[in-house]
Chains A and B, each alone.
Chain A
Amino acid sequence: MWRRADLAVALLVGLAVAPGIAGGHEAPSLEDEFVKGVFSPNFVPPAAGSYELPAVKRVAGFLLRDSTGRSVSTERITAGKVAVVSFIYTACSERLGCPLASRALQDLQGRLKEEGLSHDVALLSISFDPGRDRPAQLAKYARVYGADPALWRFMTAPSTRVLGDMLESYGQDRAPVYDGRGRFTGRYSHVLKVFLVDRAGDIRNIYSAGFLVPELVVNDIKTVLSDYARR
């Protein structure tokens, strides 16, 4: 079962150290309950391979910059692998948004290693905020979450146009948030989505907050891999 209490605690700890994340600024104890409550799946995910994950849509590959500043195509990173793709930005202050997605990917990274699946999977966190999330900032963020560069890459788009094309391809919304005077607040409104993408570039599942359960994602990855094994 999903270790929800562990994750909630880890998430809170993560919030305290993550760069640019304002944690605990209001009614922390109630928020803690809230965060724990969100991670309350009360079910055993169905066994890997016992269900189908039909393709939702095909996504394109994009040329992005990784946290070392190199230009890399997403297709090259995900070639021959199942990819788990998350859109985040490092200044995201919504604890049920980006920090939650990054914590879930951190948990997933550990599980994939335990299960010997790290060579079959690529984790990708892509910034919503190419203007501020420069490679150095992403590298810092990656360290906070203990990302293993061989498995989990943080990337940013070279321009907002490329980012826009990528978001369109994935069907991910993003809207800048303005204050009452019409000034950009530095924040983006978006629905949290994490995408499971197979070797062909087909999205096979999409997770949002309530269903971002690493055990379930691992089973989905195994389900997709078992499709290949059967072929």
Chain B
Amino acid sequence: MIQRILLAAFLVFGLFGSAAADETCQSPFLPKVTGQEDYIYVWTLGVKGLGDGNDSMVTVDANPKSPFYGKMINRAPVPGRHEAHHAGFTDDRRYLWAGGLDTSQIFVFDVGSDPAKPKLVKTISTFVKDTGGMVGPHTFYALPGRMLISALSNAQDGSGRTGLAEYSNDGKFIRAIWMPKEAPYGYDVRVNVNLNRMLTSSFSGKKNYMRPFGELVKDGEAMKNFGGSVVVWDFHARKPLQVLSVPGAPLELRWALLPNHNYAFTATALTGQLVLIYQQEDGTWATKNIAEIGANLPVDISIAPDDSKIYVNSFGDGTLRVYDVTNPFEGKLIEQVKLGEMANMVSSSWDGKRLYATNSLLSQWDKPGDYWLKAYAWEDGKLVAKFTTDFNPVGRAHIMNLNSKAFGPRAARSAPSDRRTSTNVASR
């Protein structure tokens, strides 16, 4: 994978610090921010009675040299509340697509014209119709000229039977691919280009994810309706090759980044396992539980750029756990940070030095309490708190996408040109 190689090149050249940072889980087809990130876009759930009550794309200033470091510097609302959840850049980083799990609306923000101020330029309201009944657009994953979107549910029965959809960067629907019958659930989707393999994971349908959590967990029948598989696909052919049994709702998928690291990680929300998904010598895939995270509802995970660590945020106890996965077959807990009453997303910078976390999971599952974005940095082998951005005035902070001024117009005026290095190749 190109990003692996570029990363290796950075390691070899010793350029970290001067030339390397973005989420380590972004699509390999996406140019990476390879310096200090300037902005964090936070797709934020609106709350009834709070300001305009709308979902919004909030920009937080992430540059320590800025006078606004750690502050919200812009808020771009969309009309209404949609269960704001995940968002992702197009392959050229000019646009950020953000989805609503309740209404299945997709909001496209222009982030290239002024990276500090995302501007809503298009709304796709036809996702359910386009896809023949998929509901809940979740992961937005850049492919060349296209967006690959994994859904969570369907309009027919609100169960977890669902699939993948592709749109052109212009917002034109291209195709829908339903999950295989033996593994109908969907959640995340991630591609390894060097292996031509794609992984999908599995969660639950709208009947469950839009239901109050306290009520849901008491409904034994409903609790059976969670996915328990990871599907390995031929990416180019978009054909499922193998269904792996991973009980307990495996959520986020993270490919290892270095050359010949032919494996990925996931965490199971309901069974609390950190799971390795690895390619065997015969080319087929297998899984191994490598650490017991615990019954604390692990949700998002992030990988260190050198594949040495997996970060796990648990919703149940609001704790960030760091696992050493230098030996990917054995995860060792090396650090724990209590972030708050609950925690959800966790994102590592591309250089592995900074970590950001937010704490809203789903509007019907969140606990009462404060909503925030917290920034940490590795200093002398410990995670040190850098800032907390209070989201209570605007809503509930969900996914984070990092960006740089270097992706704006006439970028090199304000940033060294090497900051716009693309793992995908942004030629200069």
Contact = CB atoms under 8 A, between A and B. Distances in A.
A51 B240 CA distance: 12
A191 interface: yes
Given A30-B9, A193-B144, A46 B237 contact: yes
B145 A51 contact: no
Interface string A40-60: 111101100011101111000
A227 to B, nearest CB: 15
A210 B143 CA distance: 11
Contact of B31 (A191, A203, A207): A191
A189 B427 contact: yes
Interface string B401-427: 000000001111100110010101111
Given A178-B410, A210-B28, A40 B425 contact: no
A179 B194 contact: no
Nearest to A190: B427
A173 B86 CA distance: 25
Contacts of A31: 9
Contacts of A57: 145, 168, 170, 172
A96 B194 contact: no
Given A30-B13, A173-B94, A177-B412, A209 B425 contact: yes
A188 B144 contact: no
B194 to A, nearest CB: 5
Nearest to B424: A208
A218 interface: no
Residue from the set A40, A208, A216 with the largest chain B CB neighbour count within 10 Å: A208
B239 interface: yes
Nearest to A219: B236
B22 interface: no
Contacts of B174: 54-56
Interface string B164-207: 00101110101100000000000000000111110000000000
B425 A37 contact: no
B37 interface: no
Given A51-B236, A100-B425, A175 B409 contact: yes
A182 interface: yes
B412 A210 contact: no
Contact of A216 (B29, B236, B428): B236
Interface in A151-196: 171, 173, 175-180, 182, 185, 187-193, 195
B427 A96 contact: yes
A191 B424 contact: yes
A97 interface: yes
Interface residues of B, number: 51
B12 to A, nearest CB: 6
A93 interface: yes
Given A178-B412, A179-B412, A206-B145, A41 B194 contact: yes
Contact of B8 (A37, A50, A209): A37
Contact of B6 (A34, A51, A173, A182): A34
B413 A180 contact: yes
Contact of A171 (B145, B238, B413): B145
Contacts of B83: none
B92 interface: yes
Nearest to B31: A191
Nearest to B236: A46
Interface residues of A, number: 53
Interface in B23-46: 28-29, 31
Interface string A202-231: 010011111100001000000000000000
B424 A188 contact: no
Contacts of A42: 194-195
Nearest to A192: B425
Contacts of B8: 34, 37
Contacts of B168: 56-57, 171
Nearest to B174: A54
A42 B259 CA distance: 11
Contacts of A173: 92, 94
A75 interface: no
Interface string B342-386: 000000000000000000000000000000000000000000000
B2 interface: yes
Interface string A100-117: 100000000000000000
A203 B145 contact: yes
Given A43-B196, A55-B174, A188 B427 contact: yes
A175 B420 CA distance: 11
Contacts of B175: 52, 54
A42 B262 CA distance: 10
A144 interface: no
Interface in B1-27: 1-2, 4-6, 8-9, 12-13
A7 to B, nearest CB: 15
Interface string A14-32: 0000000000000100110
9 contacts: A34-B8, A37-B9, A51-B239, A55-B174, A93-B428, A97-B425, A193-B144, A206-B146, A208-B29
Interface of B: 1-2, 4-6, 8-9, 12-13, 28-29, 31, 91-92, 94, 143-146, 166, 168-170, 172, 174-175, 193-197, 234, 236-239, 259, 409-413, 416-417, 420, 422, 424-428
The 5 A-B residue pairs with the shortest CB-CB distance in the complex, in nearest-first order: A97-B427, A37-B5, A94-B427, A51-B237, A206-B144
Given A52-B175, A94-B425, A97-B427, 7 more contacts: A45-B236, A46-B237, A57-B145, A182-B410, A189-B428, A211-B29, A211-B236
